Amino acid sequence: MHPFFCSVFYTVYTFWLFNCSDMKTIVYPVGVFAASLTSPKLNIGHIAAAVCWIWFVLLGVSVTNQSLGDSPQEDSLNKPYRPIPAKRISVNSARALRWWLIPATICYSAVLHPNSLTYTVSIAALTFLYNECGGHSHWLTKNMCCGAYYFLFELIHGDFLDGMKMQNKQYAATITSACIICTSAHAQDFRDMRGDAMKKRSTLPLSFPSFSRLTMPILLIAWSFVLGYVCHTNATVHATLLLLAFVTGVRFLAFRDPHADQTSYNLYNVSIWVWFRACEICVAPPALHLRCSHVTCVAVARSARILKRLLQLLDL
Domain end call among 161, 189, 217: 189
**Are 78 and 126 contained in the same domain?**
yes
Instruction: Tell me if 10 is assigned to some domain.
Output: no
Instruction: Tell me if 219 is assigned to some domain.
Output: yes
**Are 179 and 303 contained in the same domain?**
no
Q: Where are the strands (E) in 171-259, listed by range?
A: none
**Number of domains comprising the chain:** 2
Q: How far apart are CA 303 and CA 161, in angstroms?
A: 27
β-sheet bridge partners, residue 138: 202
pTM of this prediction exceeds 0.85: no
CA distances from 201 to 63, 94, 134, 195, 292 (A): 19, 23, 10, 9, 40
Domain end call among 189, 221, 240: 189
Residue 316 burial by Cβ neighbours in a 10 Å radius (0-12, 13-18, 19+): exposed
**Are 69 and 161 contained in the same domain?**
yes
> What is the pLDDT tens value at each position of the chain, 316 positions in all?
677 778 888 888 888 888 887 776 777 666 666 555 555 555 566 667 777 888 888 888 889 888 887 788 878 877 888 889 888 888 899 899 988 988 888 888 777 776 777 888 888 888 888 888 878 778 888 889 888 888 887 776 655 555 555 566 666 667 777 888 889 888 988 988 877 777 777 888 988 989 999 999 999 999 888 877 776 667 777 788 888 889 999 999 998 888 888 888 888 888 877 776 666 555 554 444 444 444 444 444 444 454 455 545 544 4
Q: How far apart are CA 298 and CA 5, in angstroms?
A: 40
Q: How far apart are CA 282 and CA 43, in angstroms?
A: 23
Instruction: Tell me if 177 is assigned to some domain.
Output: yes
Check residue 159 and give its pLDDT.
59
Check residue 291 and give its pLDDT.
44
Instruction: Tell me if 256 is assigned to some domain.
Output: yes
**Are 152 and 216 contained in the same domain?**
no
**Are 232 and 307 contained in the same domain?**
yes
Check residue 296 and give its pLDDT.
46
**Are 185 and 302 contained in the same domain?**
no
**Are 159 and 236 contained in the same domain?**
no
Q: Which domain holds residue 263?
A: 208-316
**Are 90 and 160 contained in the same domain?**
yes
Q: Residues 6 or more apart from 152 whose CB is under 8 A from it?
A: 119, 122, 123, 126
**Are 163 and 119 contained in the same domain?**
yes
Neighbours of 134 (CB within 10 A): 14
Dihedral sign, Cα of residue 20, residue 128, residue 212, residue 273 = negative
**Are 180 and 227 contained in the same domain?**
no
Instruction: Tell me if 67 is assigned to some domain.
Output: yes
Instruction: Tell me if 294 is assigned to some domain.
Output: yes
Residue 245 burial by Cβ neighbours in a 10 Å radius (0-12, 13-18, 19+): buried
3-class DSSP assignment, residue 202: strand
Instruction: Tell me if 220 is assigned to some domain.
Output: yes
Instruction: Tell me if 298 is assigned to some domain.
Output: yes
- Do residues 75 and 84 make contact, with C-beta atoms less than 8 angstroms apart? yes
Domain end call among 136, 162, 189: 189
**Are 49 and 184 contained in the same domain?**
yes
**Are 213 and 287 contained in the same domain?**
yes
